[in-house]
Amino acid sequence: MMGWSGALWAKFPGYPELLKSEYAIKVYGQGHVVAYNYIANWHDGIDVATYGVPDGTPNENPDRVPLAIDFYNNDIFNMGDNCIETDGSARNVRVFRNRCFNSAAGAISVQPVFGGPVYFFRNLIYNTPTGSLKYIEGSSGVLTYNNTIIGEGRAGPTSNQHFRNNLILAQGAFDPVFGVTTYTNYSSSDYNGFRPNPDAKTSFEWNSPAFEKAADFEHPPLNRSFKTLKEYSEATGQDKHSVLIDYNVFEKVAQPDKADPQRVYDPAGMNFALRSGSPAVDAGINLPNINDDYAGRAPDLGAYEVGKPVPHYGPRP
């Protein structure tokens, strides 16, 4: 695996890698459904076309606004850039129950989304050596719920973004396991499980306007960084119900080798089901239409609920 930009890849033989296979699937418009595909060895897996602003902006032509799009139950491997991009979409876009292994430059992307909402829920992401979340370019309305993410998550700058019931485990790509940059103090995060890098000087970031302001789109957000979950939560009011976890919350999942960022991994032999009694079990909050079918006292964190079937990824028999 080799990404197309950045210092991480420049030292490897063959850089820059020739871009011979750019997008597996690209759509634009309204009402698309992309489901149950196997996709491997592309620049991007499934994309909304990065078209620019919808035709006619600021008075958009109604039939040219990209909306009501679903990407689900796809199996995506070895991307030089992103597994799924919602870049250039507008609202009511759902990305759910996908599996993404080995994504060099961010597994899921909003660059930008015009207003939202865009939903990322119950996705399984593993091995993102430059970070798992590419939420940038002033996007807004990004909802990230009940995902299992192996790879640090840094989101922003965006507005009105919300995180609930996710498992985010650092793999050693950079210090913070979780960082948010937002122009709005009504962005929020809670009921998540985090595994920071043990030797990190900074484990959490929450960069936003001064707390007395609801939003500030004129000035850069204030930078705030924290060593511990407790310090971060007390200072920002975020993630008050979140917990610390480690790779042993799963039945059988190992940390990717941070010394070998080009390595690709196969999910065969891994088991992302939660161990009974782990801190991630019954540690979430009910999100209507996302996890109503939870089996215990409360929803579990991450993509898989204990006692429920594992999703089928890729082509069906």
Q: What are the pLDDT digits (tens) for 36-73?
A: 999 999 999 999 998 888 888 899 999 989 999 999 99
Q: What is the pLDDT of residues 135-173, one digit of tens each?
A: 998 899 999 999 999 999 999 899 999 999 999 999 998
pLDDT at 7: 77
Integer Cα distance of 95 and 151 in angstroms: 18
Integer Cα distance of 90 and 115 in angstroms: 6
Q: Is 35 helix (H, G, I), strand (E, B) or coil?
A: strand
C-alpha distances (whole Å) from 129 to each of 188, 220, 256, 264 are: 25, 27, 9, 11
Q: What values do phi and psi take at 45, rounded to 5?
A: -85, -80
pLDDT band at 283 (very low <50, low <70, confident <90, very high): very high
In this prediction, residues 100-111 reach a mean pLDDT of 95
Integer Cα distance of 113 and 128 in angstroms: 22
* Amino acid symbol at 41: N
Rounded to 10 degrees, what is the CA torsion of 298, 301, 304, 306?
-40
Integer Cα distance of 66 and 62 in angstroms: 9
pLDDT at 1: 86
pLDDT band at 11 (very low <50, low <70, confident <90, very high): confident
* Maximum Cα interatomic distance, the chain, rounded to a whole number of Å: 55
pLDDT band at 303 (very low <50, low <70, confident <90, very high): very high
Question: Would you mind telling me the total number of residues written for the chain in this entry?
Answer: 317
Bigger pLDDT: 230 or 19? 230
pLDDT band at 203 (very low <50, low <70, confident <90, very high): very high
Displacement of CA 259 from its chain's centroid (Å): 23
Q: Buried (b) or exposed (e) across 58-96, using 16+ Cβ within 10 A? A: eeeeeebbbbbbbbbbbbbbbbbbbbbbbbbbbbbbbbb
Q: Tokens representing 156?
A: 């922003």
pLDDT at 243: 98
pLDDT band at 104 (very low <50, low <70, confident <90, very high): very high
Contacts of 165 (CB under 8 A, 6+ apart): 145, 146, 191, 192, 284, 285, 287, 290, 291, 299, 300, 301, 302
Q: Tokens representing 73?
A: 């139950």
* Amino acid symbol at 223: N
Whether this model's pTM surpasses 0.85: yes
Could you tell me which of 253, 117, 119 has the C-alpha nearest to residue 108? 119
pLDDT at 228: 98
Could you tell me which of 78, 148, 81 has the C-alpha nearest to residue 120? 148
Q: Buried (b) or exposed (e) across 204-238, using 16+ Cβ within 10 A? A: bbbbbbeeeeeeeeeeebeebbbeebeebbeebeb
Residue 231 DSSP one-character state: H
pLDDT at 41: 94
Q: How much is the mean pLDDT over the chain?
A: 95
In this prediction, residues 246-263 reach a mean pLDDT of 95
Integer Cα distance of 94 and 89 in angstroms: 11
% of the chain at pLDDT higher than 70: 100
Place of tokens 């962005």: 187
Integer Cα distance of 77 and 102 in angstroms: 6
Could you tell me which of 154, 248, 151, 150 has the C-alpha nearest to residue 204? 154
Inform me whether the pLDDT recorded for 277 exceeds 90. yes
Inform me whether the pLDDT recorded for 20 exceeds 90. no
Inform me whether the pLDDT recorded for 124 exceeds 90. yes
